[in-house]
Amino acid sequence: MEDEIRAAAFQWIKSRYDLYGGTIPRAVLEAGFDYQGQRITVIGPAGIWKPKQFGSIPLSITTVQGGPYDDSFTDDGLLVYRYRGSDPHHRDNEGLREAMRTRTPLIYLHGIVPGRYLPVWPVFIIDDHPQSLSCLVAIDPAYAFGERLAKGDELPVFEAGESAVGVRKYVAAFTLRRLHQTMFRETVITAYSASCTLCRI
167: confidence class by pLDDT, cuts 50, 70, 90: low
Do the beta carbons of residue 24 and residue 113 sit within 8 Å?
Answer: no
* Gap between the Cα atoms of 93 and 128, Å rounded: 10
Which helix (H) or strand (E) segment holds residue 18: the answer is helix 2-19
Q: What share of the chain is helix, strand, coil (3-state, %, to 5)?
A: 40, 25, 35
pLDDT digits (tens, 9 = 90+) for 55-84: 999 999 999 877 777 888 887 778 999 999
pLDDT digits (tens, 9 = 90+) for 130-152: 999 999 998 887 666 666 556 66
* Gap between the Cα atoms of 28 and 30, Å rounded: 5
3-state DSSP call for residue 21?
coil
* Gap between the Cα atoms of 61 and 48, Å rounded: 5
Domain ranges of the chain: 2-191
Do the beta carbons of residue 102 and residue 146 sit within 8 Å?
Answer: no
